[in-house]
Amino acid sequence: MKAKIINIAVLLVLIAGTTYFLLKDQELDELLNCIKSANKCWLLLGLMAMICFVCLESVIIHYLLSALSYSSKFLHCIKYSFVGFFVSAITPSSTGGQPAQVYFMKRDGISVSISSLILMVVTVAYKAVLLLIALFMLVIEFGFVMEHIKGIEFILIFGVMVNIIMIVALMLIIFKQSLAKRMTGKFLLFLGKHRLIKNTDVKIKKLLTSISKYDRGAAFLKEHKLVCFNVIVITAIQRLLYFAVTYIVYKSFGLTGCSPFEIITLQLIISLAVDNLPWPGGMGVNEGIFIIFFTEIFTATYVTAGLMITRGLNYYFIILAGGMITALAKFMRRRDRDTLEKANGSL
């Protein structure tokens, strides 16, 4: 609870600071008129795209559970997805989402080993698909990409490298455990030798035990190649829905002249650059890059309104809906527990 309060407090400070810098030079009446001028049908389509984005992860989780011969209600899978995206949105580098999902899956009778395996596959697919789409868009939109990334090269390279490192690390843990154990063991010994961590032996033992748990992951990926391919396809659709929200907002203002490929490519670059920054939602940097990229595309008149609606759909909607579903899930869990305790007490 203390960690959650700190994360939410940091998030509120970041939101307040970002909002101030966005609005300090704006005429609020003009900005509100621009927002009101957006076509509501397009905005509804954007909202539906974000709901589908979240629910497609639910489809993947349900599909993987079925592949592992686990029966689970699809509504529960939707709950896991909203909880995951909500907690990821309020934690640095999106690190809190999967532990929260494991917690709720455990409460519903899904073992930690199974939930960890499923979420590992989801993570690998999520990161790999981002890089694959980025590579594809770079090939077909090379000149356009090179023209727009000036000034954010360092942040973009950082984002790409972190994604590559995470994918390689997971692949090593799954398929080359002996090498992964040696590398991580030596790294922890190095940190301990230079007094950067304490209780080195304990940490090494825990890490080696954690890596060993991925044996099942390696077996699953080898035995279910078609399942993994299908997960990648669904994840690609999911990612494209997320990136398409910016284009939908663009069209809501009646703007023309920029193709969906170009706008999706720019939004993809933003995700690559900010997804792994060590604060919630890449707050501030995300908005700054959006303004740099889209001032000419949205025009100076609509760019701030476009940013606010886009972030409202692909970030704040997730926080609001995910927070409500998380709170509801915890309330229902507590209610069921109290009901069970009363029933036991009456016996």
Closest CA to 246 of 224, 262, 223, 230: 262
In this structure, of 72-86, 160-174, 320-334, the range with the lowest mean pLDDT score is: 160-174
Highest mean pLDDT among 24-28, 143-147, 253-257: 253-257
Give which of 234, 229, 223 is closest to 77, Cα–Cα. Answer: 234
Is the pLDDT assigned to residue 231 strictly greater than 90?
yes
Query: Structure pTM?
Result: 0.85
Residue 45's pLDDT band (boundaries 50, 70, 90)?
very high
Which of helix, strand or coil describes residue 276? coil
Residue type, 15: I
Q: Given pLDDT bands bounded at 50, 70 and 90, which one contains residue 320?
A: very high
Query: What percentage of the chain carries pLDDT values higher than 70?
Result: 93
- Measured at the CA of 292, the angle between CA 313 and CA 166, to 5 degrees, comes to 70
Distances in Å between the Cα of 306 and the Cα atoms of 66, 135, 257 are 40, 26, 16
Is the distance from CB of 100 to CB of 121 less than 8 angstroms?
no
- Residue-wise pLDDT tens digits, 211-224: 766 666 667 777 77
Looking at residue 334, its pLDDT comes to 76
Q: What are phi and psi of 256, to 5 degrees?
A: -140, 170
Tokens of 9: 């407090």
- The H or E element containing residue 265 is helix 260-274
- Please state whether 198 falls in left (phi above 0), alpha (psi between -120 and 50) or beta: beta
What pLDDT, on a 0 to 100 scale, did the predictor assign at position 340? 54
Q: How far apart are CA 269 and CA 291, in angstroms?
A: 13
Contacts of residue 154, Cβ cutoff 8 Å, sequence gap at least 6: none
